[in-house]
Amino acid sequence: MRLPNYGRTNAGSRPTEGDAALQFNDLRNTYSVTGAGVAVGLISDGIFGITDALASGNLPASALNRDGGDKLISTTGGVTAVSFRADGDLEAGLSNGSKGAEGTAMLEIVHDIAPDANLRFANFATDLEFMAAVDYLAAISDIVIDDIAWFGLAYDQSSSISVNTATELNRASNPIRGYYTSVGNHARRHYQGPYADSGIAGAPTVGFSGNLHLFQPTADTTACLDGTSSVANFMVLFGGQTAAVFLSWDDTFGAAANDYDLFVYDPLAGSVVASSISDNPGVTPDPFEMVAFTNTTGANRTYYIYVQNSANLASPKTIELFVFGGVSCTDGTTMNFNTLGSSVPAQGDAGGGVVSVGAISASDPGFDSIELFSSRGPTNNGVMKPDVSAADGVSVTGSGGFSSSFFGTSAAAPHVAALAALLLEIRPDLMSGEQGDDPAADRATRRSAIVDTTIDLGASGPDNTFGSGRVNGPIAGPSLAPAPGPEPVPSLSAIGLAAAWVAMAIAFATAIQRSRRLGHVGRR
């Protein structure tokens, strides 16, 4: 028995600018493809606003089924949707009591690029519901996409979330041929570094024994407010703003061997405002602590984040923080000490051929600068992520109160999934059901057509900022389209062969007679 884990989205009658920027329009025109016959499944927080998106023609015609309380419980037609939430609400968001419209915005992007693709949708609330949604869509779709990040899990491809996604993508009985996920928007809310003993006892400040970790700038970790080493990682919250802080370290999940604790301290009040002091590994076997708190002072307030070696019994481990809510620096970092690298959460780290997508603004003049927030690899087991990059900062209708300018890796990922749908229409033999079906080979071929045809950006070759590079339609299409072969030689039946010989004999005799006549003329 355990408490459930909850996911976070990565997010924002208008065509996406990414269509032209990534030259998908050229791909459609060259091969006359629209995604017809390809099923694309999508998982996000909800499809609130779908009524408006349908009315404006930004999604294919669909029928909406509501219960007696006006709750949207299913859709059929161009968009087929089912909820895996306990409440069955397709319009519910991931925050309690909220409505979620990000799914609507992502569906609009796919529809802009692959207008004839069959769209499927599923939403969820908990990790178990998310995995059920993945299982469901992988069993009925050719392409599946999500934009969900998970914290409080391992970030080394071994979490139950990431393993399940990779398993379903590679299940031989599933029709799925590609899975795409956003790599995450967490490069500016992440810290990672080896535990450094400050020699400063935490007891006078936090009330528990054990020395505090020393945060310090390094080649990988910046300090935007104060470049000196400190036992506190600073963050600023506006009045009424809520923050969440996730702490983990590199023990094995389910078998933690060390104990670190997490505290948030208000220096003006001189008191701890939030703490997480689980007994690891005695009671809690995971190397994880988490706090959430709200600034109730009515004014902007600076808070200190402390990480403590509980009773000084823990061996030095790599400390990792993800912080949501604060805005400490003008560059958007949420805390003073920030580490861009290895900022990929669970699901964004998934292996097994899952493609994680980073974000480049469609309005970037050179279309070659990664968004500052786009998570960077490697994963905590050293695997390069993202795999590719695509456009964000694109236009959607804003239905359901969603922003009409959609930023984030949540916007980039559906561009790549829609490209995959166009490529599958070019090569329908890569979909399931053909004679001699080889799912593993089909998936590898389709993945290579996208990942290996990117435009290289940043450092030469694949890297942990852009992945293999920015996806491109006109390069991906020819790599997958069958090469033209020689004109076929028609087969001849016995009767046809005899007729051919007769025709040749007649032609030969005619040629001889003609040459004789020409010879007489010449002699005269």
Tell me if residue 76 falls in helix, strand or coil: strand
Tell me the pLDDT tens digit for each residue of 85-117.
999 999 999 988 899 999 999 999 999 999 999
Average pLDDT, rounded, for the chain: 91
Q: Which has the closest alpha carbon to 189: 328, 16, 394? A: 328
Above 80 in pLDDT, residue 459? yes
Above 70 in pLDDT, residue 440? yes
Distance CA 324, CA 25 (A): 37
Question: What is the predicted pLDDT for the residue at 171?
Answer: 98
Percent of the chain predicted with pLDDT > 90: 84
Handedness of CA 92, 95, 101, 104 (dihedral sign): negative
Whole-model pTM: value is 0.89
* Residue 292 φ then ψ, to 5°: -135, 140
Angle of the 473-480 helix axis to the 439-451 helix axis, nearest 10: 150
Question: What is the predicted pLDDT for the residue at 8?
Answer: 53
Question: What is the predicted pLDDT for the residue at 9?
Answer: 57
Distance CA 524, CA 515 (A): 15
Distance CA 226, CA 272 (A): 22
* Exposure on the CB side of residue 439, measured as CA atoms within 13 A: 17
Asked if 391 and 21 count as a contact pair (C-beta separation under 8 A), the reply is: yes
Question: What is the predicted pLDDT for the residue at 480?
Answer: 87
Place of tokens 């004014």: 299
Q: Could you tell me the pLDDT band of residue 1, with boundaries at 50, 70 and 90?
A: low
Question: What is the predicted pLDDT for the residue at 489?
Answer: 45
Q: Which has the closest alpha carbon to 293: 247, 234, 332, 245? A: 245
Distance CA 87, CA 64 (A): 17
User: β-strands 405-406, 394-395: how paired?
Assistant: antiparallel
Average pLDDT over residues 233-260: 96
Question: What is the predicted pLDDT for the residue at 5?
Answer: 67
* Per-residue DSSP letter, 150: B
Q: CA-CA distances (angstroms) from residue 161 to 158, 168, 262, 291, 499?
A: 8, 11, 25, 22, 69
Tell the burial category of 67 from Cβ atoms under 10 Å away from its Cβ (0-12, 13-18, 19+).
Answer: exposed
Above 80 in pLDDT, residue 6? no
Asked if 42 and 80 count as a contact pair (C-beta separation under 8 A), the reply is: no
Which structure tokens are listed for 483?
């090469």
Question: What is the predicted pLDDT for the residue at 516?
Answer: 38
Above 70 in pLDDT, residue 381? yes
- Amino acid residing at 485: G
User: β-strands 301-309, 394-395: how paired?
Assistant: unpaired
Tell me if residue 61 falls in helix, strand or coil: coil
Question: What is the predicted pLDDT for the residue at 10?
Answer: 54
Q: Output Rg (C-alpha) for the chain, integer angstroms.
A: 29
The string of DSSP letters for 255-282 reads B----EEEEEEETTTTEEEEEE---TTT
Tell me the pLDDT tens digit for each residue of 33-82.
999 999 999 999 999 999 999 999 999 999 999 999 999 999 999 999 99
Average pLDDT over residues 460-467: 97
